[in-house]
Structure 1
C-alpha cells in the first residue's frame, strides 16, 4: 500500500470512527439547557448520554458478526442511514423520555461506523502495524472530541439544542457519501464467516474463553469508562461548579482532547522502540497516578481549576497511549473474526462507559464525583492488566505481511 493510499484510508476510516465521538460529545454544552427546557434533573439528562453508549454497545454486538458474514460495506451504509433518521427525530423529541429512547437508536446507527472501521483496519494490518495505523486514526478521530463541544457551543449561539441534532443528521448524510464513494470492500467472500445465531454464539464463546483477550477487552473498557466519566460530568463541573460559559467549556474540553491526540501520535514513535504491552502498562500506571491526583485536587480544592485541568490533561494523555495498544493486542489474537472481535471490544468499551456516566450523576454533579469514577476506572484497568492479562507473560504479536484485501 502506497503512502498516498494509506493517507486516504486514514482519512476515510477516521471520518467513520469520528461519528461516535461527535454523536456523544457535540451536545454536551447543551446539557444544562436541556435540563431547563424539559424541566428535569441533570441525572435524567445524563441518561440520554447513557442511552447513546448503550446503543453503541448493542449495535456493535449485532453489526460485528453481520459484517463478518456479508462484508463491510452493506452494514455500514444501513447503519449510517439509521443514524441520520434518529438524529432528525432527536431534533423533534417532545420530552426527555423520547429523547433518551431516540439516543439509543442513534447509538445503534453510529455503531456501524465504529465497528466496521476497526474491522477494516484488521482486515489489512496486524500487530505493531495495526497499532501504528490505529494511532494515526486516533489523530483524525481526536479532532472530533476537540471540535464537537466547540461546534456545539457555536451552534448554540444561533440555535437551540435541537439544532445540534440537525447538524448531526447532515454529518450522517456526508458520512454515507464517504462510505459509498471512498471505501471499497475489504473482506472478500472467501474469508467471510458463515452467518446464523448458533455460529455467532459459538464465535463469541471462543472469544470469551480467551483469558488474555477478555482481560484486554476489560482494560480497554475501564480506560474508556474513565474518559466517559469525564465526558458525562465535565459540563456540569466546569460550567456549574467553576462558572465557565458554553464557549469557555468548549475550549477547556478541547484542550483535554489535545492531550489525548498528542499521546496517540507519540505512541507511533514509541512503538518503534517498545512493545505495545510495555507502553500499555506504563500508560495505565501514569493514568492511575494522575486520576488519584485529580481526586485529591477535587476533594481539597488545592490549586483550583488550573490544577484540576492539569490532572485531567494527564489522565487523557495516558488514555491516548492506552487505547491504541489494548485493542491492537486484543484483535491481533483473532484476525480470523475481526468484525466479531472488534464488536466485542467496542461493546465493552461503550457498555462499561455507559455505566460510568450515570454513576457520576448518582454520586453528584461536583468535581469529586467525576474524579472518583475517573480514578476508579484507571486504577481498575491497571489491576486487571496485571492480574488477568499479565503483560510480562504476553508474547509480542508477530507482524503479518501488510496486504490490501481483494476488492
Structure 2
C-alpha cells in the first residue's frame, strides 16, 4: 500500500477507507442530535442539559487522540485502529442501556475514546505516504466524502426516530463500527514501516508534544484549523437549541437544515481542487477564513435584528460552516508538511486541540447569559477571529520559510 499511494495520484479507494474511518466520530456526534429533546424528556432534564453529552464526547475525542498518536508512532497504525474501533462498538452498545444522564455521559466518553482513532490515524497515514501538495488534495478529497457524514447523520437519526426509540441510533453506530473494523482488518495495509517507527517512553511523549508545538511551521496552521473547527463545534453544540427550541423546526426539518450546511462544506472541499492552480495552499486557507467570518457576521446581524428571521440565520450558518471545506484540508496539509516520522503524534496534537475547543465551545455557550442565537453568534465570533489571526501569522511565517 505504501508504494501504491506514494505517487501523486493516490488511490481513491484508499481515501474512501480513510474517510469512512474519519466519519465515525462526526456520525457519532450528529446522528443523535434530533433525539436530544426526547432524551431530555426521558431523563427528566432540559434539552440544554442533555446537550452536555456533546462536550463530554469532545473531551473523550481530545484525550483519545493524544493517546493514539504516539502509540501509533511506536507500533504502527493498524493495531491502534483495531483496538479503537472495537472500543467504539462496545461503548455504542453500552449507550443503549443508559437510563440517566450521568451514565450516558460516561459511556459517551468511552465511545469517543474509541471513535477518535480514525480521526488521528487517517491524517497520519496520509502524511506517511504523501507530500504537502498531494496531501492537501487527499485531505480535500477526504473532506468531500466526510461531508456526507454530517449531511446524512441527523437525517438518518430523524428517520430512525420515526420508527424506533432513540436507542436504535446507537445500534446503527455500533454496526458502522463493525463495518469499519472489517475494512481495517481486510483492506488497510500498514503505512508506517518498522524502520520509521519511534521508540517513545511516557516521558518522551510529553517532550515530543512540546517539541512539535514549538515548531511554528506546525503551530500557526494547526491553531488556524483548530479555531476554525471551533466555529463548527459551536454550531453543533447549539444547533438543536437554536433551530428546534427557538425556531420550532421539527426533527425532520432540523435534519435537512443541518445537512444543508454540511453540503456547503462538501462544495468548498470540492472547490479546493479547482482553486489549486490559481491559489496556493495558504491563499485557499485565507479564503476559507474569510467565508467563515462573513457567515458569522450575518449570524450576528440576525441575532441583533430578530425581525430578519430564520432565512438570514440559515445563510449565516451555511457560510460559517462551509468555510471549513477550505480551512480544514489546507491548514492540516500545512501543519503536517514537516512532521515526517512524528506524523501520528502531530496529528494527535492537532486533533486533541480541535476537540478541546469543542469542549470549550460547549462550556462557553452554557455560561453566556443572552439568547441562544446571540450566545452562538458571540461564541462563533471569538473562534473565527482567533482563526483569522492564526491564518495571518501562518502567512507571515511561510513568507519567510517557504512551504515544503
TM-score class, shorter? over 0.9
Following TM superposition, by how much is the alpha carbon of 1:185 offset from its aligned partner in structure 2, in angstroms?
0.5
Please give the residue correspondences for 1:4-403 in structure 2 after superposition, counting only pairs within 5 Å: 6-363=11-368, 366-387=372-393, 390=396, 393=399, 395-398=401-404
Identify unmatched segments of 5+ residues in structure 2: none
Q: Please give the alpha-carbon distance, in whole angstroms, between the structure 2 residues aligned to 1:100 and 1:234.
A: 19
Once the 2 structures are TM-superposed, how far is the Cα of residue 41 of structure 1 from its aligned partner? 2.6
SS of 2:273 mapped into structure 1: helix
Name the SS for the 1:140 alignment partner: helix
Cα deviation, residue 184, structure 1: 0.6
Q: Secondary structure at the match of 2:152?
A: helix
Instruction: Using the TM superposition, name which of 18-27 and 214-223 deviates more.
Output: 214-223
Per the alignment, do residues 139 and 274 of structure 1 end up closer, same or farther by CA in structure 2, a change over 3 Å counting? same
Q: Is the 8 A contact 1:216 1:385 kept in 2?
A: yes
CA distance in 1 between partners of 2:69 and 2:377 (Å): 33
* Offset at residue 302 of structure 1 (A): 4.3
CA distance in 2, matches of 1:194, 1:351: 27
Deviation at 1:388, TM superposition (A): 6.4
CA contact (8 A) 1:42 1:361 kept: no
C-alpha root-mean-square deviation of aligned residues, in Å? Answer: 1.7
Q: CA deviation at 1:31?
A: 1.0
Instruction: Give the conservation status (yes or no) of the 8 Å contact 1:116–1:339.
Output: yes
Relative to structure 1, the CA distance from residue 133 to residue 108 in structure 2 (aligned partners, 3 Å threshold; closer, same or farther) is same
- For 1:394 and 1:186, locate their aligned partners in 2 and report how far apart those are by CA, in whole Å: 32
Unpaired runs of at least 5, structure 1: 399-407
Normalising by structure 1, what TM-score? 0.94
The worse-fitting range, judged by mean Cα deviation, of 135-144 and 376-385 is 376-385
Once the two structures are TM-superposed, the CA of residue 362 in structure 1 deviates from its matched residue by 3.0
Deviations 1:185-208 (A, max 9, x none): 111100001031122222112112
Residue-by-residue CA offset, 1:358-397 (whole Å, 9 max, x unaligned):
3223336621111221222111211233246635625442
Q: Distance in 2 between matches of 1:192 and 1:372?
A: 44
What SS is found at the alignment partner of 1:94?
coil
Structure 2 counterpart SS, 1:271:
coil
Aligned length: 398
Q: Is the 8 A contact 2:65 2:116 kept in 1?
A: yes
Report if the CA contact (8 A) 1:294-1:375 is conserved: no
Distance in 2 (CA, whole Å) between partners of 1:395 and 1:254 is: 39
The 3 A distance-change label for structure 1 pair 20 and 150 is same
Preserved CA contact (<8 Å) 1:76 1:112: yes
Q: 2-side partners of 1:280 and 1:391: how far apart?
A: 14
Native 8 Å contact 1:123 1:338 kept in 2: yes
Larger deviation, residues 365-374 vs 262-271: 365-374
> CA separation in 2, counterparts of 1:162 and 1:48?
15
Conserved 8 A contact 1:287-1:378? yes
Q: Tell me which moved more, 241-250 or 42-51.
A: 42-51
Q: 1:179 to 1:198 in 2, by over 3 A?
A: same
Contact kept? 1:221, 1:353, Cα under 8 Å: no
Change (3 A) 1:396 1:154: farther
Contact 2:217-2:398 within 8 A present in 1 as well: no
How far apart, CA to CA, are the structure 2 residues paired with 1:17 and 1:301?
A: 37
After the TM superposition, which of the residue ranges 309-318 and 70-79 deviates more from structure 2?
309-318
Secondary structure in 1 aligned to 2:218?
helix
Q: Counterparts of 2:402 and 2:328 in 1: how far apart (Å)?
A: 17
